[in-house]
Structure 1
Amino acid sequence: MEKSKFHQSYDGKPGKEKEMLPKPIFERPDKLSAKRLEGKIAIITGGDSGIGRATAIAFAKEGADLALLYLNEHEDALFTKKRVEEIGKRCLTLDGDCGNRFFCNEAIRQIIKKYGYIDILVNNCGEQRLHGNFEEISEVEIQKIFRTNIFSYFFMTQASLRFMKEGANIINCASVVAYKGSDDLIDYSATKGAVISFTRSLAKNLAKQKIRVNAVAPGPIWTPLIPSTFTEERLKHFGKDTFLERIGQPCEVAPSFVFLASEDASYMTGQVLHPNGGIPVNS
Structure 2
Amino acid sequence: MAPAVVSGLLPFCVYLLLTSGAGEAGKLLVVPLGGSHWLTMRSVVEKLIQRGHEVVVVMPEVRWQLTQSLNCTVKTYVTSYTLKDLNREFMVFAKTQWKIRENNLFYLVMGSSRGIYEMMFSHCRSLFNDKKLVEYIKQNSFDAVFLDPFDMCGLIVAKYFSLPSVVFARGVFCHCLEEATQCPYPLSYVPRSWLAFSDVMSFKERVWNHLIHLEERLICSYFLKNALEIASEVLETHVTPYDLFSHTSIWLLRTDFVLGYPTPVMPNMFYVGGINCQQGKPLSKGVLANFILLL
TM-score using structure 2 length: 0.36
Q: With a CA cutoff of 8 Å and minimum separation of 6, indicate the structure with the bigger relative contact order.
A: 1
Q: Could you say which structure has the larger radius of gyration?
A: 2
Which structure dedicates a bigger proportion of its chain to helix?
2
TM-score using structure 1 length: 0.37
